[in-house]
Amino acid sequence: MKRIPVLIDCDPGVDDAAALLLANQIPELDIQAVTTVAGNVEVEQTTVNAQKIRSLINGTFPIYRGAEKPMVRTLVTAPEFHGADGLGGVFLEMPQESMPTEKAWDAIYRIAKAYDGELTLITLGPLTNIGIALAKYRELPALLKRIVMMGGAAVGGNVTPAAEFNIYVDPEAADMVFCCGVPVVMCGLDVTMQAYLTPEETEEIGALGSPQARIFREIFQDSMKKCLAWGRKGVALHDPAAVLYAAYPDLFTAEKAGVRVETKGMLTVGKTVTDLYSDQKFEERNAFVLTDVDRAQFLKTIRMILARYGNQSDAAFG
Ligand code: BDR
Ligand code: CA
C-alpha cells in the first residue's frame, strides 16, 4: 500500500484528540509530525494535550509547538466546549519528555521540502502556523500536495452566525491558505455537522475494550451533554472528518468551488465566502468543498479503526 505522508496541525481540543487517536491507526496515513497551535485552549495546553494523546496511542511522530496567538488578532479560545484543559476534563498521564525546539512553521517547511510535493497538510485548528510558514517560506506552496482543512462553512457558522471557529480565530491566516495556490479541501460545517456521533454510538465505541477506545468515549462526555441540550442528535466529529477524508475520500461528496475569507466585515468576520451556490463565480476555483458524507460508512470506518487498538480483526466489522 502506498502510504500518504501527512503532517497534522491541531489545537487539541476534544475532537482533535479523537482525530489523532484515529489517524494513528489508519495505515494509509504516514504521520510525519504533529504541530500545535493556540485555538481551543492556549498553545501550552494544546501542546501538552498532543503529548498526552501521543503517549496514550504509543505514537512515534514528533510534536512541534507553534503560534501562541493569531497573526494579527487577539486569541479567542473555546474552554466552555472543550473544558479548561481542552480534553473535556479527562485525566491522562503527562509523559516526562523534552520537546524539540524547532518551531511548527520551520518543521512544516523542512518536512514539506523533504517530501518535495508529496506532503499533505491536515489542519484541525486555526491556520496561524500555516500562515506563518507561507509568509516565511515563499516556495512552500510548490512543496505541498494539498491541504485538507477542517474549517469554514459554505452555509452558516458555529462561533457566529457567519463563521466557523477555526477560520474566525485567525481569518487573515485562513485567507492566506485559500490564496496560496495549493488545492484546499474545505471540510467545513456543511459536512462535519452530518458526521455526528450519538450517545449510543459513543457507548458502542467505549465498549470496544481498549484504553484508547475508552478515552475516545470519555473525552466527548461533557461536549455531548452540551450538544444534546442544544437539541442536536449527538456531537459533531469535526476534526475526525478531515482525517478520514485524507485517507478515505470516497466517503464524502466534494464540489469544486472558489473560496475566500471575509476579514473585514462587521458581522461576517471569518466567513468562508464560497461561490458554490452563487451565479457569480470567483476567478479561481481554489478549493474542494465537502458537502456530504455517507454517515453510516463513516461511523463503521471509525469503529473499525478504533478496534485496531484492541487487535480485533477488521473482518468482524464487515
Ligand atoms: C472546530 O473548532 C474547534 O473547536 C474544533 O476542534 C474543530 O476543529 C469546529 O468548528
Ligand atoms: Ca480543532
Ligand 1 atom nearest to 12, measured from its CA? 6
Ligand 1 atom nearest to 10, measured from its CA? 8
Based on the number of CB atoms within 10 Å of its own CB, is 137 exposed (0-12), middle (13-18) or buried (19 or more)? middle
Measuring from atom 10 of ligand 1, which residue has the nearest CA? 165
Measuring from atom 4 of ligand 1, which residue has the nearest CA? 40
CB atoms within 10 A of CB 60: 8
Contacts of 108 (CB under 8 A, 6+ apart): 7, 9, 35, 121, 129, 130, 133, 140
Alpha-helix runs per DSSP H in 125-197? 128-136, 165-169, 171-179, 189-192
Q: Strand, helix or coil at 7? A: strand
C-alpha span between 45 and 113 (Å, rounded) = 29
Residues with CB under 6 A from ligand 1: 13, 15-16, 40, 78, 124-125, 150, 158, 164-166, 238-239
Q: So what's the pLDDT on residue 224?
A: 98
Tell how far the Cα of 256 is from the centroid of ligand 1, in angstroms: 23
* Exposure of 91 in the CB half-sphere (CA atoms within 13 A): 1
Catalytic machinery residues: 238
pLDDT tens sequence across 87-97: 999 999 999 88
C-alpha 53 chain-centroid distance: 15
Based on the number of CB atoms within 10 Å of its own CB, is 58 exposed (0-12), middle (13-18) or buried (19 or more)? exposed
Tell how far the Cα of 316 is from the centroid of ligand 1, in angstroms: 32
Closest CA to 26 of 309, 316, 317, 292: 309
Name the stretches of the chain with pLDDT < 50: 312-318
Which-ligand-closest: CA of 153? 1
CA angle 242/245/250 to nearest 5° reads: 155
C-alpha span between 211 and 4 (Å, rounded) = 27
Measuring from atom 2 of ligand 1, which residue has the nearest CA? 165
Contacts of 90 (CB under 8 A, 6+ apart): 215, 218, 219, 221
Residue from 40, 164, 193, 245 to probe ligand 1 pocket by mutation (most atoms less than 8 Å from CB): 40
Tell how far the Cα of 261 is from the centroid of ligand 2, in angstroms: 18
Cβ proximity of 51 and 22 under 8 Å: no
Which-ligand-closest: CA of 15? 1
Q: Strand 63-65 and strand 29-36: pairing? A: parallel
Bridge partners of 76? none
Ligand 1 atom nearest to 158, measured from its CA? 10
**What residue ranges in 77-165 does DSSP mark as E strands?**
119-123, 144-150
Tell how far the Cα of 220 is from the centroid of ligand 1, in angstroms: 13
Place of cell 505541498: 144
Q: So what's the pLDDT on residue 39?
A: 98
Ligand 1 atom nearest to 164, measured from its CA? 10
Cβ proximity of 196 and 235 under 8 Å: yes
Which-ligand-closest: CA of 152? 1
CB atoms within 10 A of CB 254: 17
Tell how far the Cα of 127 is from the centroid of ligand 2, in angstroms: 10
